[in-house]
Amino acid sequence: MKYCSVCGSLTEKRIPEGDNRERDCCTNCGFIHYTNPNIIVGTIPVKDQSILLCKRAIEPRYGKWTLPGGFLENGETVSQGAFRETFEETNTEVEMGELYAIFNVPQINQVYMLYLAQVVQDDYSATTESLEVQFFQEDEIPWEELAFPFVPIVIKKFYLDQKTGQFPLTTHTIERKK
């Protein structure tokens, strides 16, 4: 950050008094600009042991398959954001279930929070964010065409949990090898 969003003056990187991390600090008004991780919310939309996946119509990973999800917006709960993102990418409403998986992705400052969800109608369709929307059984998942590292992890976990009927909340960390 070069300029303060409060007064427009230049900022400098320094560790504010009482802090332990370098921050962007205004050289004029003293405002400290904190940057924090983005929260990504989404669902694992299911019907009859199939998962509804979306083929991305936007970058990054244009043309790859993923679960519906995106950035949490200000003023909404995590569950509301996951529901909204699912609708925006599949054009169908879901019955929200429990929080199912949390992924920490520290190198890109993101935290993913995924809910189980039941697709209640067969009215899903492509949207401006999805080229295609399709149900897949476990043996039909396009494993080599999945968009992001968390997608195969959570899909495999879902199908394992489906065999036991237990769907415990889990957390994962995805870190790039240096």
The CATH code of the domain at 1-35 is 2.20.70.10
CA distance 96 to 16: 42
Identify the pLDDT of residue 175.
Answer: 92
Domain borders along the chain are 1-35, 38-173
* Tens of each residue's pLDDT in the chain, 178 residues: 999 999 999 999 999 999 999 999 999 999 999 999 999 999 999 999 999 999 999 999 999 999 999 999 999 999 999 999 999 999 999 999 999 999 999 999 999 999 999 999 999 999 999 999 999 999 999 999 999 999 999 999 999 999 999 999 999 999 987 6
Number of residues that this document lists for the chain: 178
Radius of gyration of the chain (CA): 19
pLDDT at 176: 82
Question: What pLDDT is attached to residue 177?
Answer: 75
134 Cβ partners below 8 Å, 6+ apart?
52, 53, 55
**DSSP, res 162:** H
Residue among 43, 40, 41 at smallest CA distance from 53: 43
**DSSP annotation of 3:** B
Element (H, E) at 116: strand 110-119
CB 54 within 8 A of CB 63: no
What pLDDT sits at residue 178?
A: 65
Q: Which position has the token pair 């990504």? A: 40
CATH architecture designation of domain 38-173: Alpha-Beta Complex (3.90)
Q: How far apart, in whole angstroms, are the C-alpha atoms of residue 96 and residue 42?
A: 10
What residue spans of the chain are helical by DSSP H? 78-90, 150-164
Cβ count near 4 (within 10 Å) = 20
Task: Give the separation between CA 114 and CA 121, rounded to whole angstroms.
Answer: 21
